[in-house]
Structure 1
Amino acid sequence: MKSKHLLGLFGIEREEIELILNTAHNFKEVLERPIKKVPTLQGKTIVNLFFESSTRTRISFELAERRLSADVVNFSVSGSSVAKGETLKDTARNIEAMKIDLVVIRHSSPGAAHFLSRVLNAGIVNAGDGTHEHPTQALLDMFTINEKFGRIDGLKVCIVGDILHSRVALSNIFGLKTMGASVSVCGPKTLIPRDIEKLGVKVYYNVNEAIRNSDILNVLRIQLERQDKVFFPSIREYHLYYGITRERIQKYNRDIVIMHPGPINRDVEISADVADCEQSLILQQVLNGVAVRMAILYLLGTKN
């Protein structure tokens, strides 16, 4: 990779994405072995700086790090000096003084990962910064799509839900467009960013039309924790008009593939039977997340 950081997918070249996906394929084979560990990053120290709650991403990164034999340090805000008023910069620089190699950061502020890349010498991996980007999620989504279809180029992918507050949506748009996919978004007008068409995506406000014209639906949850006002009348009404249900899939596109970055709010953005149906790749995304993050840490860790 050209950079020692992975801060986002905006501007990243197709060759770099392909390198990550191909490397992840090799690590996916490692995960299928009885002994799922390689000594690749032995002697390297990786710090997970998570300033926001996380289940899948945090555990996935930690598993990936340990599968690569790295030394792992987990940071949480509770019980740290952040509670005493310490800044992000001081927290990170003090940790770096202990001779670390990579920092994986999740933070509520857009640009937090970029900020750390300017003040630290260690490599930085963005595990989600506010409503900005979540590059490793988009990469594992692309890996899962490529694994299912044997390609990304030419496929029609629709991202459905709370696009306005989603860092997953933005990274997926950047990555999928770079890889040649046709990308669309769907949701209520209040949850679609203004001028998003300028990113080269089509906008649907009717979910039935989106289902009919797509190969893949990547369904996003409603991010109530990031909403400072009411964007739709009720959860019930949202599910009525935009929920992905079995009835809708059977009526408009029986072969469509279903994805979701998690956490799932069942019977809100997606019905329980669709989340667990044969077309669902949701648990495959979780498994692939470990392989993709192993690839990223390997490429950056050996570079650093």
Structure 2
Amino acid sequence: MDTQSKPPKLMDRVKATMRVKRYSPRTEKTYCYWIRFFIRFHGMRHPSGMGAPEIKAFLEHLAVERHVAAATQNQALNALVFLYRHVLEQPLGEIGEFSRARRPRRLPVVLSHEEVLRVLSHLSGPMHLMGTLMYGSGLRLIETCRLRVRDIDFERQVITVRAGKGDKDRTTLLPTTCISSLQKQLTTATHQLEYRLHHGQVPVTLPHALDRKYPNAGISLAWQWLFPASRPCCDMDGKVVLHHVHPSAVQKAVKHAMRAASLPRPGSCHTLRHSFATQLLNQGTDIRTVQELLGHKSVETTQIYTHVLGKGFAGVRSPLG
């Protein structure tokens, strides 16, 4: 039999389907992990010969034996639902009741304005600017890493977040204090592009198939990463490209800064975003506006910050005053 007539392997089909549906590379990697895990758990049986009972057993195993978090269990379930619905095109039916990982309700760690400034004082260069944007604009870590030159509007003092969580675009605040640093960063991006144009014309990575539609977009200033990686790499097609800075590098820098700031409670990059939300609400900003700036799908997600501030009690006072 001719090898070219062989049907594609399951995982190749999964990846191809996800790319057609424009799933992010991170989601693709995560879903492939859970699908492989599911197959190994059931002794390398092909998923087409399994169904709801096997999925239920797998989810039970994750919760009872591996003690995964609720979000992790839901992630695994989403990956398998995607596999059966969009790749195998087999209806799953009802999975039925299964042991769900506990979802503890914890309030987010937030910092005061003074504490944030202490943290930022221990960051320098691009890392300082990225930390400032997470706090001053409420950006997620990955949204900060993915900023491009075209996303900064100095005239309107607006930052455009493209393909954020849920693949949605939104705009948020551009703090006045960031303008000077951002202009310097744009100048750096311009100089780096000029250097690359004279040394091999390495393009930046582009969303979806934009490089085929606009062949020169990858070497145009507007599409350059604001925070590029230190060196080029190969993409999934083996092409040499320049990616944005890796989120882990920023996480490491912010974690070190928070330790150096001697905070009373541990924090992360997301703590800066949490602090942005609580500061706005403390200033009297309408919760719907805060929801839009953060890019939350539901206002219920944003309301968690009212509990952090102790404003969820409708004016009730303690008997002791």
TM-score, normalising length: structure 2: 0.27
Higher normalized helix content (fraction of residues): 2
TM-score, normalising length: structure 1: 0.28
Larger radius of gyration: 2
